[in-house]
Amino acid sequence: MLRKGACNAMISEHCIRFADAKAMADVASQSVHLVVTSPPYPMIEMWDELFCRQPAIKKALHSRTGINAFELMHRQLDRVWDELYRVLVPGGIACINIGDATRTIKGEFALYPNHSRILTHMLKMGFTNLPSILWRKQTNAPNKFMGSGMMPPGAYVTLEHEHILIFRNGGKRQFNTQEEKTNRRQSAFFWEERNQWFSDVWMDLKGARQETGDQQLRKRSGAYPFELAYRLISMFSVMGDTVLDPFIGTGTTLFAAAVTGRNSVGYELDSAFLPLIGQGCHHAIELGHHRIGERVDGHLRFVRNREAAGRPIKHTNQVYGFPVMTRQETEMIIPLPAAIQETSKNQFKVTYAAPEASADRQPATVPRASQAVKTGQLRVFE
């Protein structure tokens, strides 16, 4: 549940630790409900400098033994995955976005299968593997095909996807009290969103990014789109949960948690990201209004199309008064972030306007994308 603050306003809290996620001493065991993250990708050159801080990895790369370097890089990540096992609640979920790497070492071209190396370690740890998502990232780059051109057999298949691996810590999460059950129902998503989000191939992932800040830093951050974190958080956690990102980078997971009414904790080695995260936080409210407005517009469009096709919808959302496909959506609410405030160093608090049906049973008003405030600095859903 979202915590109530002074004046009964709902609040969420977000903090960033500039420290190594291999030992997240500030995160209590079994205190995290969801992990959404993307590590530095082993064997992708942009992350060599970071991994090569370990002399053994530097040596392996320089002595050109690719498979050894690959293994040693993963052993660094393993230590963070081990921490996830400790901090996740029973039934908590970890979503890891990872791409495989292709690289030529000593004239030998090879694929380094990052996703399967992480998967193997997570299974060894005792995580349950759930069906995962292929994120299709099509490239139109003219040099995307590698190898011997049109001459068999030395041409290579182009990698145009990444993985979103999904794991659960043990069995299904339990919601026992009436309050927990109500919060879970209120955290529902739309039926038509379920049909899109729970597909195993994401072809349609739209991004959102702030146009402000250090673009060079943003470029070398390997940031994922806001929509990726927004969806995963909406799919696998409920309002008031705590979301952890051990590799927070530019803060995308934190912004998505703030917009969806979840708390968050982020770890990051590189404190140069702080100004970018700070700026992003201040845009999160507008970003949230736009995304929520877009969801509602999308839903109302879906309802109109369905009704026009002579297929009426029989349930009604009790809060907003619009039709919904299933009983599970009738109590759904979308908390609207109202303000974000830095409470102390690297800690932020978000307050929300909770939609409630009024006493005279008029439905609550919902934000519409067309009414969302936009600034020149924010480019949303490119």
Ligand X SMILES: C[S@@+](CC[C@H](N)C(=O)[O-])C[C@H]1O[C@@H](n2cnc3c(N)ncnc32)[C@H](O)[C@@H]1O
Per CB under 6 A, contacts with ligand X among 2-21 are 20-21
Report the alpha-carbon distance of residue 62 to residue 69 in Å, rounded.
9
Helices of type H across 39-167: 48-51, 55-62, 66-87, 114-125
Closer by beta carbon to ligand X, 9 or else 269: 269
Residue 10 CB contacts under 8 Å (≥ 6 apart), including other chains: 2, 3, 4, 261, 335, 351, 352, 354
What letter would DSSP give residue 127? P
Amino acid identity, position 16: I
Burial category of 299 from C-beta neighbours within 10 Å (exposed 0-12, middle 13-18, buried 19 and up) = buried
Q: Which residue, 236, 334, 351, is CA-closest to 284? A: 351
Stretch that binds ligand X, among 231-239, 244-252, 295-303, 306-314 (CB under 6 A): 244-252
CB 273 within 8 A of CB 241: no
Per CB under 6 A, contacts with ligand X among 31-50 are 38-40, 50
Burial category of 224 from C-beta neighbours within 10 Å (exposed 0-12, middle 13-18, buried 19 and up) = buried
Residue 204 CB contacts under 8 Å (≥ 6 apart), including other chains: 196
Q: Closest approach of Cβ 282 to ligand X, in Å? A: 16
Q: Closest approach of Cβ 200 to ligand X, in Å? A: 21
For residue 22, state whether it binds ligand X (rule: CB under 6 A).
yes
Torsion of CA 118, 121, 263, 192, to 10 degrees: 60
CB 381 within 8 A of CB 372: no
For residue 71, state whether it binds ligand X (rule: CB under 6 A).
no
Report the alpha-carbon distance of residue 178 to residue 99 in Å, rounded.
41
**Of the residues 112, 135, 167, 224, which one makes contact with ligand X according to CB under 6 A:** 224
Closer by beta carbon to ligand X, 44 or else 366: 44
For residue 267, state whether it binds ligand X (rule: CB under 6 A).
yes
For residue 256, state whether it binds ligand X (rule: CB under 6 A).
no
For residue 252, state whether it binds ligand X (rule: CB under 6 A).
yes
For residue 255, state whether it binds ligand X (rule: CB under 6 A).
no
Stretch that binds ligand X, among 192-200, 267-275, 309-317, 324-332 (CB under 6 A): 267-275
Q: Closest approach of Cβ 76 to ligand X, in Å? A: 7
For residue 307, state whether it binds ligand X (rule: CB under 6 A).
no
Stretch that binds ligand X, among 58-66, 84-92, 107-115, 216-224 (CB under 6 A): 216-224
Q: Closest approach of Cβ 249 to ligand X, in Å? A: 3
For residue 249, state whether it binds ligand X (rule: CB under 6 A).
yes
Angle of CA points 369, 305, 135, to nearest 5° = 65
Closer by beta carbon to ligand X, 168 or else 218: 218
**Of the residues 114, 234, 242, 250, which one makes contact with ligand X according to CB under 6 A:** 250
**How many whole angstroms from its chain centre is CA 224?**
8
For residue 264, state whether it binds ligand X (rule: CB under 6 A).
no
Residues β-bridged to residue 3: 11
Nearest residue to ligand X, using CB? Answer: 249
Closer by beta carbon to ligand X, 226 or else 302: 226
Total of residues contacting ligand X (CB under 6 A): 21
Contact pattern from residue 77 through residue 106 relative to ligand X, giving x for each residue in contact according to CB under 6 A and a dash for the rest: ---x--------------------------
Q: Closest approach of Cβ 94 to ligand X, in Å? A: 14
Stretch that binds ligand X, among 130-138, 230-238, 261-269, 359-367 (CB under 6 A): 261-269
What count of other Cβ atoms lies within 10 Å of the Cβ of residue 48?
Answer: 16
- Binding residues for ligand X, rule: CB under 6 A, are 20-22, 38-40, 50, 80, 221-224, 246-247, 249-250, 252, 267-270
